[in-house]
Structure 1
């Protein structure tokens, strides 16, 4: 395990896109790789990575406690090559207990799942960012029924981890309407709503207007069309909460996939 940096680690948010990015990196995958290199250069190699993936939903916050988390192929209908991928990063059971304790100290019920592995929301971007899988990885679940403010608080509860060399890494999507994505394939799509939502969010992220941002489902233009279900948007709030007050925003990637899936990625320092 590497020595923690003396600098406070940033937090990250990426829109992880299709599982196909694991084998066809594209511009987003290249941006993720550049982002990992920039983090290592500026802050040192992370002691561990805490992934907050949209693809693990639970009623209360849960963190993986396995010393050797398995690679979960939580998708269907893709090329066989994808199902052969194994991302064999170690876990860190002691850090899982630390995370559970931090959440409980803030009044949150939290548990440890000893047998849960890493889903593609975690390992697909990590394949490009830390391909040698030599940094311990844990995963933290989202609670879709509890909303944005809960996830902002969850991030704030975990801020101290950044001083311990832990990279808090949120993996979701800026917009995530799969029905529109699939129906628009092969034909022109009206992506105006996705762009309007993306712009509204981006402005508030940059201006640190988090009290406005937490009411995205009511106030944002086309909020419920951009996210018919919230699980892919909620990881962003964990990254923002852990970033602390006065954070600086760096855009890592901005673009659209399939006309309606906004692929924005950020670093918060």
Structure 2
């Protein structure tokens, strides 16, 4: 299969016999037109599961994750209008301070191992958004939060995998944002609060992770039980009022099966950023399903 692929193949044209071309999933007729007033609609803030590795381009994984794929394919249509830009907080990047990608033409970073060779040739060619990155840094500075820039880092799979399914045409300028080393949940809630003004500017904030992420638990009976316990807690907590929600998320380790679901919490912390940016907006859970035998959810605020 890898031998059939051109070097650095464009995502939308990859492996047509194995998976549906991502470009075919985009229906311009269903897209909401931009606001006629010229004022951007306020975007929601989203926490979503990005699945396992480059799953959309591996036929067996793609087939087993059909509900997740369907959710991601419908994501753009669920927005009030096409976003002016995306800020994606990825579980696969940690830095000493909040760090933003600033390359106007980001490269690819294949931060997974042991997958077929063609998955190391994927390209999701969304442009970067250096101006949005500067705006993010200004908001963080105003909140007293340190930040930095990185012009070299490419899109990792926490960013390009879900966004390539949701936006196969790669037309939305995208900034990738790191977690902060130490993984303090309160600090990440505060980062989200600082970014909240972006939403009224038409910028979509996405936290990309997994609401269950225990590599030893995937595919096991124990993991299935633990993930359901933790997922039930998430479903109850995110629908609370903003103050109660934030307080519970800051104490997430007290939740049922918390450490069994997240031995290390980097895949949960993007939820804190999304929840912080939500301010007082209510939450919905438009996707609740199984990934590798574990229950995971997507949360939309606003």
Deviations 1:101-148 (A, max 9, x none): 111111111011111111000000111111100110101100241411
Runs of 4+ in 1 over 4 A off after TM superposition: 2-5
Separation of aligned partners in 1, 2:205 and 2:152: 21
Within the candidate set 68, 73, 86, 1:33 is matched to 73
Q: Give the count of matched residue pairs.
A: 258
Separation of aligned partners in 2, 1:195 and 1:11: 24
Within the candidate set 43, 47, 50, 2:84 is matched to 47
2:247 alignment counterpart: 211
Separation of aligned partners in 1, 2:67 and 2:132: 33
Gaps (5+ residues) in structure 1? none
1:73 is paired with a residue whose SS is coil
2:285 alignment counterpart: 251
2:128 alignment counterpart: 91
1:194 aligns with 2:231: no
Query: In the TM superposition, what is the alpha-carbon distance from 1:21 to its structure 2 partner?
Result: 2.8
Separation of aligned partners in 2, 1:86 and 1:113: 20
1:14 aligns with 2:51: no
Separation of aligned partners in 2, 1:9 and 1:190: 34
Query: In the TM superposition, what is the alpha-carbon distance from 1:258 to its structure 2 partner?
Result: 2.4
Deviates more, 1:151-160 or 1:27-36: 27-36
Deviates more, 1:130-139 or 1:21-30: 21-30
Larger radius of gyration: 2
Separation of aligned partners in 2, 1:124 and 1:190: 24
Across the aligned residues of Structure 1 and Structure 2, the Cα RMSD in angstroms comes to: 1.6
Aligned 8 A contact 2:53 2:157 in 1: yes
Separation of aligned partners in 2, 1:18 and 1:190: 15
Separation of aligned partners in 1, 2:182 and 2:139: 21
Aligned 8 A contact 2:235 2:285 in 1: no
Gaps (5+ residues) in structure 2? 1-33
CA gap 1:190/1:49 in 2 versus in 1, 3 angstroms: closer
Deviates more, 1:224-233 or 1:73-82: 73-82
State the TM-score, normalizing by the size of structure 1.
0.91
Within the candidate set 258, 264, 282, 1:223 is matched to 258
1:265 alignment counterpart: 298
Deviations 1:175-222 (A, max 9, x none): 10001226x3xxx555222211111121010113221221011x1112
